């Protein structure tokens, strides 16, 4: 699968692991990243990920996440079509940044966008996207059930 992984997922391993949900999502993210390293899945990156990551206040996290851009199969740059699609998605009640991630994933040909953001997951089905939006735990459950 070609995956677009948003920063909520990339940041999960750095979050406080006291809550079970966060621990489960962290474990799923780490397995998914291993699948990318092994070539089972491919990673799609975008200028939106770089833009958002560059704003992270903690340099160690920012640097650790930025390394993944080099593992990406390709990166989606800023373009007029991306801006237009982002605007159309945002008009449906999605934040501008989330809309830009969704548009980049879609235009880059991702099969699935992975996020830990419940609101994005809940709203995605009504956006008419050419991809699915899943929590990393749900994705991993799907691929291990069919693998």
pLDDT tens-digit map of 106-133: 999 999 999 999 999 999 999 999 999 9
Would you state the structure tokens that stand for residue 78, as one six-digit string?
Answer: 């800023």
pTM of the entire predicted model: 0.96
Q: State how far the Cα of 41 lies from the Cα of 27, in Å rounded to an integer.
A: 16
Domain limits, the chain: 2-146
Q: State how far the Cα of 12 lies from the Cα of 64, in Å rounded to an integer.
A: 12
Please state whether 109 falls in left (phi above 0), alpha (psi between -120 and 50) or beta.
Answer: left
> Percent of the chain scored above 90 by pLDDT?
98
pLDDT class of 60 with cuts at 50, 70, 90 = very high
pLDDT class of 147 with cuts at 50, 70, 90 = low
Q: State how far the Cα of 82 lies from the Cα of 75, in Å rounded to an integer.
A: 13
The CATH class for the domain spanning 2-146 reads alpha beta
């Amino acid at each position: 699968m070609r995956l677009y992984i948003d920063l909520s997922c990339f940041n999960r391993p750095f979050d406080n692991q006291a809550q079970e949900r966060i621990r489960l999502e962290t474990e799923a993210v780490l397995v998914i990243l291993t699948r990318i390293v092994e070539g089972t899945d491919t990673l799609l990156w975008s200028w939106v990920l770089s833009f958002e990551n560059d704003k992270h206040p903690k340099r160690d996290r920012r640097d650790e996440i930025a390394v993944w851009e080099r593992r990406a199969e390709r990166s989606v740059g800023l373009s007029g079509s991306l801006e237009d699609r982002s605007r159309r998605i945002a008009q449906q009640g999605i934040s501008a940044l989330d809309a830009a991630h969704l548009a980049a994933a879609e235009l880059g040909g991702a099969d699935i966008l992975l996020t830990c953001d419940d609101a994005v997951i809940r709203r995605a089905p009504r956006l008419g996207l050419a991809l699915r939006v899943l929590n990393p735990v749900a994705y991993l459950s799907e691929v291990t059930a069919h693998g």
